Amino acid sequence: MKGWSPALDITRNLIACGAGEIMACEPNIGKDFSEFPVYDFDEVLQKADILLVLVDHDEFKDVDQEALKEKVIIDTRGIWR
């Protein structure tokens, strides 16, 4: 199925169970994606308290480690270890 991703399924489930405010960031989703809001990575880094890494895009690998200092990180891809 085009556009299917386990990360999208996880995001849908987090939203459906009311896990709090979800700020999804997926650089490879087209601008016409309207199922839920998709945020810019810099905005997520600035505003989010918890970062859940579900994909290992290059945009995420190159993050300034100082920006992660005060965050709770759940890194399923091992890119920030």
The pLDDT tens digits of the residues spanning 29-77 come to: 877 788 889 999 999 999 999 999 999 999 899 898 999 999 999 999 9
Q: Is the pLDDT of residue 22 over 90?
A: yes
Q: Is the pLDDT of residue 15 over 80?
A: yes
* pLDDT for res 3: 56
Q: Report yes or no on 80 lying in a domain.
A: no
What element of type H or E holds 50? strand 50-53
Q: Report yes or no on 81 lying in a domain.
A: no
Q: Determine phi and psi for 53, rounding to 5 degrees.
A: -95, 115
Summary count for the chain: helices (H), strands (E): 3, 2
What is the domain extent for residue 61? 6-75
Q: Count structural domains, the chain.
A: 1
